[in-house]
Structure 1
Amino acid sequence: MSTATTPPDAPQAALDLADYLNVLRVYWKAIVAFTLLATLAAAGWTVLQPKIYSSDSSGIVVTPGSDNVSLALAGDSLAKAKVKNYESVAKSRLVADRVIQALDLKTTADALLGSTSVKVPLDTAEITVTAQSTDPATAQRVADAWVNGLAAQVEAIETAPSGDAAGQTSAVATPEAGSSTNADTAVRVLPLGKALLPTSPTSPNTKVNLALGALVGLALGVAYALIRRHLDRRIRKAADIEGLFGVPVIGTLPVDRRLDGKSTIVDAGTAAQLHDAGGAMAEALRELRTNLSFLDVDQPPRVIVVTSSMQAEGKSTVTANLAVTMAASGENVVVVDGDLRRPTLMDVFNLVPGVGVTDVLTGTAELVDVLQPWGALPNLSVLGSGRIPPNPSELLGSRAMKNMLTTLAKDAIVLIDAPPLLPVTDAAVLSRAADGAIVVIRTGKTTQEQLDQSLGNLEKVKGRILGAVLNYVPLKGRDAYSYYGTYASAPTPSSAEPEPVDDRTGEDTLDVLEAAHGGRRARI
């Protein structure tokens, strides 16, 4: 049976909304961790930053007023035109030097300019100065002194003789705003009150920093989740197997805590108990048994190899429990331990070890002597591996092995627990002597590359692939195993509640029937 496999390096299909939501569900812990770490980092950075206080002070450019409307409008236009020129004056070192001299600050003009900003609101004659400092009082004083220094500098410029250089104006003694020279000044700057003392820092902004940190962390977490999803090649759902490799999934087995760390029979009771066993695992095994019977109704497989890509994927557990489930339905079943390197079925069924396949193949024992029935189900027998040989592959591929399996298949369905496909070639060799192979895949562990190589190994020897069994399917999540519990049958008459009885006597009831039939008493 050939399979249309997709190369492992083939591009993955584009994600839809459901896929994105599934990525968030799977990696939500990592996303939350990234968000918290980034938020904590932003909080730590905020704590380490010095607190900066800001204070604003304003001045307005005015011209001499007039009772003439035309002159008043012309003065307003002149003030708005001058304020654009004075904005550059307010940002100059000349004003910064005046502030340093007035407040006796221990700083440079360039440093003071770096902590002070000047703005002119659109279509106004106002100039706003914002001073920043680690000390709120200093910020307030600098803002007021800057407006006063600007007023003095503007006055020096406006009163300077024509042709005076800017450097000459800086040497003029600092006049106070509103001095007697104002009468000769066409345009001047008037302060608009005192700056307010800031009570809270404007920087750092704790709320904004924390919000940005959380946003960056969330973005990093989502990016990490998407990258992990793109790089994660593990198989998690049946649709991946059928879509990528064209192999039918004939069974999905849920996680069962009774199988943690060991291979065992889930329900090891009597035949009736095994047949009626409830629970998700028991129902999944019965579904697998049913699907096997419908694989080929004309020539159903009698010898089936159960294998996996790597060890610890649950193939021995699946083999043993599937055999028990098939035997519970009345089938004659023989389980053969075909793992001649690391046999486990003797421990699973708790039978006598040391005798089995190798003894029959080498002619040291007869098949009937080493075939051990399992006590709970008489129609289930187990053939152990026997002594571990030095050449397992040669024995499993021998004609004697083929003849032994043919003999067993005459009266029973034969399930062979084979070694994994990738470490050794034993399972591929066994598949040639069998009617088909079942590949067990462990959810969230087996990768696409491993399954692709395993199926390729079976194809190379012309082995028939019956299907795949998805094992350890989680009981929770988007791709969880769906189990609806026991579908209860209708109650038996003995267990049903009694129907209500008419309070009237039987004779009254017959009278009612007689009236209903036109006075004739019904014959019962």
Structure 2
Amino acid sequence: MDTTDVETAAGPDLRHYLSILRGYWRGIVTILVAAVLVAFVWTLTQPKIYEASSSGLVAASGATNLGLATAGDTLAKSKATSYASIASTRPVAEAVKDELGLTTSENQLLNDVSVQVPADTAEIRVSALSEDPAQAQEIANAWVQVLAEEAAQIEAGEDEASPVLVRLMPLGRAALPTAPVSPDTRLALAIGAVAGLAAGLGYALIRHHLDRRIRSVDAVNRLGQSVVGTIPADERLGADRQIVDSGNAKTRDRAAHAFAESLRELRTNLAYMDVDHPPKIMVVTSSVPGEGKSSIASNLAVAIAATGRRTVLIDADLRRPVLTDLFGLPSGAGLTDVLSGAAEIDDVLMPYANAPALELLGSGRVPPNPSELLGSNAMKSLLQELAQDAVVLIDAPPLLPVTDAAILAKSADGALVTIKAGKTTIDELEKSLQNLNKVGAHVLGTILNQVPTSGADSAQYGYYGQYYYYASSDDSASSAAGPDAPSPGAHRSTAPDSASSPAPPQPAVAAVGAPMSRRARRANSAD
């Protein structure tokens, strides 16, 4: 395997972990800050310990020439090691305790005092710890003094008249410490930061492992499904369902441009899904309520109708119909009346003024048996009749609560499953796809809805987090070019959908000028 293959194989893993960090950076930072604060508070609760150091030098006397001096130096270094061992004994601790009148035990004194001999020297360094800086200074000085006396007694032996060849001489008094050596605030904060970062990373990995919500296109692809549309979040849709005249309204809002462009891209992807046999009857559904399927179906219908293609939008959510309210059209007779034979289709289709090529078929009266009605032969015949000269979009109920959408998808060319980014779980999507597969319905793809366009989460979706458009002058030129002309700085879909590219194959008959109603066309045919 060459280097390119290795980098390609390692690349997705790195991007995966970086996406985890971006997705949970707030939690990581919170844990990091909390750990540093805990470390800081811990330093405030700990007693302040001061350290004082004193030293003594072991010297050999009687050297009259270089040879004796060298031998004396070697002897002094050897004695220094021996005296250091003596300095760590209880007799020395008892003598210091008695001299200073301390109440501290000998064992505690031995724990608070450390004795060191620097390498290749005859120096003995005594360091004493105490909560009182003055007491630390006194202990260090007294320890060296007592050690010197003990060493002198050992060297003198029983014959006090014989000369002492080696002695320990104190090298001055210890300085009064001015700053505590413990707790070490900097070290504590550094340890807290490292521990907090490690805990934060662990938290992010665990949350990511346990979080089953769909946050990226890759998560959908891993289920074997393609994402045919990525719809960014739009503030205009935040409060309630709403129709956005994408491509028609002039606006300087980048989010509005991104939303309009995403609908165009979705429209183009559907047209190029099967060039020879493009889908004409499409069911728009979701796994659970609240994922924006009705808004997607409505705005997609407006986007398709903006090209002049005759489009029929059917409200087949017979349990909770919303499309007539969404479009601001009167409710009344609709789909259920046509299926029951109480009304003719031409009498209940309602045109949408802002998109003349679009007609809406409301739900009608709520029936007691929605599933049976939607799965009837009358429904299949109606869809086939409408699809002869129109693109038919069906707003269907969610897949998991009821079976209506699965039944409709079997009668249609396929289903588009809406996913709300950061809300829909992998388990819900898998169950929805299983419901469609059980009835033999074709899944056209998924639509990732409400994708964030800013913040850390936007990086997981790549494109819309860095959406760019030119200045208002370019926006005006784009609007003048027509509803389908993309902005000059806009991201282009891999499939052409602009004025400079050939028009994609039309999934339905394209109308020239203002479209006529079905009744007017029948009258012309009769003439």
TM-score range, shorter chain: 0.7 to 0.9
Summarize the alignment of residues 407-486 of structure 1 with structure 2, pairs less than 5 Å apart. Answer: 407-476=385-454, 477-478=458-459, 479=461, 480-481=463-464, 483-485=467-469
* % same residue: 53
AA aligned to 2:86 is V
Summarize the alignment of residues 254-403 of structure 1 with structure 2, pairs less than 5 Å apart. Answer: 254-267=232-245, 279-403=257-381
SS at match of 1:263: coil
Give the match for residue 142 of structure 1: 139
Question: Is residue 204 of structure 2 the alignment partner of residue 225 of structure 1?
Answer: yes
| 1:59 paired residue among 56, 60, 70 | 56
Summarize the alignment of residues 144-163 of structure 1 with structure 2, pairs less than 5 Å apart. Answer: 144-161=141-158
SS at match of 1:199: coil
- Following superposition, the deviation at residue 491 of structure 1 comes to 10
Query: In structure 2, what is the Cα distance between the partners aligned to 1:329 and 1:299?
Result: 19
Query: In structure 2, what is the Cα distance between the partners aligned to 1:433 and 1:489?
Result: 39
| 1:45 paired residue among 39, 42, 60 | 42
Question: Is residue 75 of structure 2 the alignment partner of residue 96 of structure 1?
Answer: no
Question: Is residue 190 of structure 2 the alignment partner of residue 199 of structure 1?
Answer: no
State the Cα deviation string for residues 251-307 of structure 1 (Å, max 9, x = none): 221111111131111128xx9769xx9722222212222222222222222211011
Q: Contact 2:32 / 2:196 at 8 angstroms: preserved in 1?
A: yes
Q: Contact 2:156 / 2:162 at 8 angstroms: preserved in 1?
A: no
State the Cα deviation string for residues 217-268 of structure 1 (Å, max 9, x = none): 22222222233233333223334323x1333322221111111131111128
AA aligned to 1:308 is S
Unaligned runs of at least 5 residues, structure 1: 1-11, 163-180, 493-524
SS at match of 1:469: strand
Query: In structure 2, what is the Cα distance between the partners aligned to 1:79 and 1:420?
Result: 92
State the Cα deviation string for residues 416-454 of structure 1 (Å, max 9, x = none): 001111222111111111111111111222222222221
| 1:251 paired residue among 211, 221, 229 | 229
Give the match for residue 72 of structure 2: 75
State the Cα deviation string for residues 113-140 of structure 1 (Å, max 9, x = none): 1111111111222111001111111111
Give the match for residue 187 of structure 1: 166
Query: In structure 2, what is the Cα distance between the partners aligned to 1:264 and 1:309?
Result: 21
Provide closer, same or farther for how the CA distance between residues 286 and 95 of structure 1 changes in structure 2, counting only shifts above 3 A.
same
Give the match for residue 128 of structure 2: 131
Q: Contact 1:143 / 1:195 at 8 angstroms: preserved in 2?
A: yes
Provide closer, same or farther for how the CA distance between residues 15 and 121 of structure 1 changes in structure 2, counting only shifts above 3 A.
farther
Q: Contact 1:155 / 1:182 at 8 angstroms: preserved in 2?
A: no
- Following superposition, the deviation at residue 182 of structure 1 comes to 8.3
- Which shows bigger deviation, 279-288 or 373-382? 373-382
| 2:26 paired residue among 26, 29, 45 | 29
Q: Contact 1:94 / 1:153 at 8 angstroms: preserved in 2?
A: no
- Which shows bigger deviation, 402-411 or 256-265? 402-411
- Following superposition, the deviation at residue 489 of structure 1 comes to 6.7
Q: Contact 1:437 / 1:465 at 8 angstroms: preserved in 2?
A: yes
AA aligned to 1:465 is V
- Following superposition, the deviation at residue 388 of structure 1 comes to 2.0
Q: Contact 2:351 / 2:359 at 8 angstroms: preserved in 1?
A: yes
SS at match of 2:242: coil
Query: In structure 2, what is the Cα distance between the partners aligned to 1:334 and 1:299?
Result: 19
Query: In structure 1, what is the Cα distance between the partners aligned to 2:369 and 2:161?
Result: 114
Provide closer, same or farther for how the CA distance between residues 125 and 15 of structure 1 changes in structure 2, counting only shifts above 3 A.
farther
Summarize the alignment of residues 9-20 of structure 1 with structure 2, pairs less than 5 Å apart. Answer: 16-20=13-17
State the Cα deviation string for residues 388-411 of structure 1 (Å, max 9, x = none): 222221211111211221222223
Provide closer, same or farther for how the CA distance between residues 272 and 309 of structure 1 changes in structure 2, counting only shifts above 3 A.
closer
SS at match of 2:417: strand
Query: In structure 1, what is the Cα distance between the partners aligned to 2:30 and 2:355?
Result: 52
- Following superposition, the deviation at residue 183 of structure 1 comes to 5.5
Query: In structure 1, what is the Cα distance between the partners aligned to 2:154 and 2:345?
Result: 119
Provide closer, same or farther for how the CA distance between residues 39 and 337 of structure 1 changes in structure 2, counting only shifts above 3 A.
same
Query: In structure 2, what is the Cα distance between the partners aligned to 1:389 and 1:353?
Result: 15
TM-score, normalised on structure 2?
A: 0.81
Q: Contact 1:38 / 1:214 at 8 angstroms: preserved in 2?
A: yes
Query: In structure 1, what is the Cα distance between the partners aligned to 2:10 and 2:54?
Result: 61
State the Cα deviation string for residues 452-498 of structure 1 (Å, max 9, x = none): 22122111111111122121122223224164436747999xxxxxx
Query: In structure 1, what is the Cα distance between the partners aligned to 2:101 and 2:138?
Result: 11
Query: In structure 1, what is the Cα distance between the partners aligned to 2:328 and 2:21?
Result: 45
Q: Contact 2:214 / 2:425 at 8 angstroms: preserved in 1?
A: yes
The number of equivalent residue pairs is: 458
Provide closer, same or farther for how the CA distance between residues 18 and 119 of structure 1 changes in structure 2, counting only shifts above 3 A.
same
Q: Contact 2:421 / 2:449 at 8 angstroms: preserved in 1?
A: yes
Query: In structure 1, what is the Cα distance between the partners aligned to 2:389 and 2:61?
Result: 121
Larger radius of gyration: 1
- Following superposition, the deviation at residue 187 of structure 1 comes to 2.9
State the Cα deviation string for residues 63-114 of structure 1 (Å, max 9, x = none): 3322143333322222222222222210001001110111111221111111
- Following superposition, the deviation at residue 13 of structure 1 comes to 9.2
TM-score, normalised on structure 1?
A: 0.81
AA aligned to 1:143 is A
State the Cα deviation string for residues 164-184 of structure 1 (Å, max 9, x = none): xxxxxxxxxxxxxxxxx5854
Provide closer, same or farther for how the CA distance between residues 77 and 341 of structure 1 changes in structure 2, counting only shifts above 3 A.
same
Provide closer, same or farther for how the CA distance between residues 484 and 76 of structure 1 changes in structure 2, counting only shifts above 3 A.
closer
Give the match for residue 174 of structure 1: none
SS at match of 1:346: helix
